[in-house]
Amino acid sequence: MSTSHQDSFTNCRPHRTSPRTSVMTQPDMVPGPTSRKRKALANAACPHTMTLLRSTRSMATEQKQCPICFEEYFTTPTGGEQVIPVKMACKHVFCRSCIEGQRSLDIKCPHPWCESPYLIQPDCCDLCALWAKEHDEINLLVTVRAREMTLSIATALKQLSIEDIFFKLSHSVKAKLFRHVKQTLTRFEWQYHSGIDLAELLDPFLLAVDIRATRAYFGPDLSCPAPSPDCFPPRTHDPDDYPPGEEPWIAAFFRQWALDYESENGETKDGWGVWSKKEENGPEWSWEWPYKRIIGHRTEPDGTVSYLVKWVGKRFANEWLKRDQLGHERVWRKYDKAHGVTHTNGSKSRTKKRRVA
């Protein structure tokens, strides 16, 4: 393997030190919230908190209609009821009919940019208690064991190639793939993860900074889609990670393997396992978690730019990070080039405005 190919593969996973860094006396202990935080959580608004608005005077022009049904507030559609606006705890406004219907399906704000930290409050809200009762799922986690999981993946991949010759890999491609598998599992060994977390961590293309170099390194035998959409279960978590019909078959294979492994070996666990990693010039104990991609940006009052990132797996909601928290420089440079964001005077930044003819 040439040095250039190895470098492109090594740099294709933009790991970063998470802002959720804490100093711990033991590696497997995660500090709980303080009494002040617990009190704040108890008094916090829940997803069902809403305020009835009686006029649109305080709303911007573009906010005078419901973003879900696009009906103007305080109008009465033919054969319908009056469109009454309500403001959620996250300050977003919808019509009462739409948001009540949406709340029966999902407690998250339907606004795509919402960063609402509001948690369900089953002890204080009857609707939250009903939601918790109806969606009481047992989240299984597995402990990452590099050697055991590598052997399990090799066995599953061998069985798949026996069933369909399409999935049979050459010796060189298989060596590259399992080098990636061993490095990834060793990096996160003895941590607790769900099947979705494992599947996305093992996907060699999902976290690639330079997707072309990564595809060239692994070759078309791994990067091509499966011959039939029925070969693997559909991608239900973040289906927009890949365009329709373009998900590499190896990503779908890792998803199937990880979910099967979770169902066979998963346990209900408390905490996160051994998250700690020693740093030479940092705190004694810290941990990190990779993100998949940048999905938005905003300019802060001090002129700096923050980036909205989507984390790997389903542990954390989208989060705003500073440029120096993004890790690999090519990540934010690629995003800036695509979205016209420039940085001047060190940390100062601005967004280019396109000229309209």
Mean pLDDT calculated for residue range 337-342: 85
Residue 7's pLDDT band, with cuts at 50, 70 and 90, is very low
Would you say residue 35 has pLDDT above 60? no
Mean pLDDT calculated for residue range 44-72: 76
Taking CA atoms, 163 is separated from 149, 160, 257, in Å, by 21, 5, 15
Strands 341-343 vs 319-322: parallel, antiparallel or unpaired: unpaired
Report whether 108 contacts 89 (CB < 8 A): no
The CATH architecture of the domain made up of 291-351 is Beta Barrel (2.40)
Q: What CATH number was assigned to the domain covering residues 39-134?
A: 3.30.40
pLDDT in tens, 14-30: 333 333 333 222 233 33
- Residue 213 CB neighbour total at 10 angstroms: 17
What is residue 300's predicted lDDT score, i.e. its pLDDT? Answer: 83
List % helix, strand, coil for the chain (3-state, nearest 5): 35, 15, 50
So where are the chain's domains? 3-30+140-265, 39-134, 291-351
pLDDT in tens, 178-202: 999 999 999 888 888 889 999 999 9
Phi and psi at 29, nearest 5°, equal: -110, 130
Mean pLDDT calculated for residue range 26-39: 36
Strands 192-193 vs 319-322: parallel, antiparallel or unpaired: unpaired
What is residue 318's predicted lDDT score, i.e. its pLDDT? Answer: 84
Least confident of 39-43, 97-101, 157-161, 222-226: 39-43
What is residue 281's predicted lDDT score, i.e. its pLDDT? Answer: 53
Q: Are the folds of 39-134 and 291-351 the same?
A: no
Higher pLDDT, 19 or 309: 309
What is residue 27's predicted lDDT score, i.e. its pLDDT? Answer: 30
Would you say residue 177 has pLDDT above 90? yes
Residues of the chain with pLDDT > 90, as a percent, come to 24
pLDDT in tens, 232-275: 988 888 888 898 889 999 999 999 999 999 989 988 776 666 65
What is residue 332's predicted lDDT score, i.e. its pLDDT? Answer: 83
Q: For the chain, how big is the Rg over CA atoms in Å?
A: 24
Sheet holding 291-299, edge to edge: 291-299, 305-311, 319-322
Give pTM, 2 decimals: 0.60
**How many whole angstroms from its chain centre is CA 320?**
12
What is residue 98's predicted lDDT score, i.e. its pLDDT? Answer: 85
What is residue 62's predicted lDDT score, i.e. its pLDDT? Answer: 57
Q: Find the helix or strand (DSSP H, E) in which 303 lies.
A: none
Half-sphere exposure of 110 (CA within 13 A, CB side): 17
Least confident of 12-26, 36-50, 125-139, 151-165: 12-26
Would you say residue 116 has pLDDT above 80? no
Would you say residue 319 has pLDDT above 70? yes
* Mean pLDDT estimate for the chain: 76
